[in-house]
A and B are shown apart, each in its own frame.
Chain A
């Protein structure tokens, strides 16, 4: 096979890769958003030391964190019925990422001095008010770096979707390679895929550093 890499510069192929990228962004965006909410909830519950809920949250976190994401994706795809493949992947990534983020949230909350609780409660704040206005804002700044590195992991892990047949970025590239399979084309396609992931991950870490600095400003 001796096709030139330039053969790949056709509008319909670029559009096809663009569609794949949108699927990647959709899975990543939804998973990040949903797991941020669910992860914060689970993290706060585990931190709260509630008699029944906290151990349940702990069991959830450990059960999920200590097994591969791929297993959860396959589980959601094949054991749970009636979900579209793309939704099964989004669900699996949300469940998985929530467990990781819950630990980040708990770690951030633990890093805030317990004296802050006593001070706020003694001023007449309720439990929820203390958490919302005193503890979480202080914990948030320490949570941002590990959270963002997890979000970057989410973007990268969307590539597992191809395993269950979702045509995201990597999958689209593989499909194109089925037709344009010369060595030059192979390197061009993989180079392009890698570049897109690289740019996405970099943009996210840039955004996080900027946000971190802004929060630092606001805290003065």
Chain B
């Protein structure tokens, strides 16, 4: 197949540093975005189980709005809206914020389901011992929820790595964008896309497999399962 001719692979190999740079950008973006998403998701997930109606409403509105509109639209909005406000952030920062906000909504649902899987009696017992609501959450409920939410959180991390390819639409020089612009320049689409695919696969497949095994183990030991809503 001429689309995958040997000399095209050689050209790809010669420019390996470009792709290594793209991979580094994908990894740093994903790591920072995951940190932000965990922060946003944990706070909103806790709000979603809070005994105050306003807190639960904040959770509902956030999750509803973010989950029902596309990531592409959100990131493009962020990209242009900031420019309208004369606020010029790097594409890296926009990617981190956009992905953090988007996956924060999904992680909020995971965290909410995790908290609800911890028996209510735990919270009541903590209150009876003089814990405040925040203390009870911090020291009693969240540590127990952490174990069961680990598999769905890992799945979110996998999904976030894949979605970090969104950087390509704002010229963020991540792996996807590197592959796309390199192949647009050389015309060697075949090898570039195969390489990019292989790297994403090597990042995602082990994580996804680990998450599935862990989920099965938790289901066996606990006799139940926790899935994001």
Contact = CB atoms under 8 A, between A and B. Distances in A.
12 contacts: A62-B205, A67-B201, A68-B200, A71-B197, A74-B193, A79-B189, A156-B69, A156-B72, A157-B70, A186-B84, A190-B73, A190-B76
Given A66-B208, A152-B68, A186-B84, A159 B73 contact: yes
Contacts, number: 99
B162 A69 contact: yes
Interface of B: 3, 65, 67-73, 76-77, 80-81, 84, 158, 162-163, 165-166, 168-169, 176, 179-180, 183, 189-190, 193, 196-197, 200-201, 204-205, 208
Interface stretch (A5-13, A120-128, A197-205): A197-205
A78 interface: yes
B68 A202 contact: yes
B204 to A, nearest CB: 4
Interface residues of A, number: 34
B113 to A, nearest CB: 13
A162 B72 contact: yes
Q: Is the interface of B mostly helix, strand, loop or mixed?
A: helix
Contacts of B70: 156-159, 170, 197
A175 to B, nearest CB: 13
Contacts of B208: 65-66
Nearest to B65: A198
Contacts of B179: 71
Contacts of B197: 63, 67, 71, 75
B69 A68 contact: no
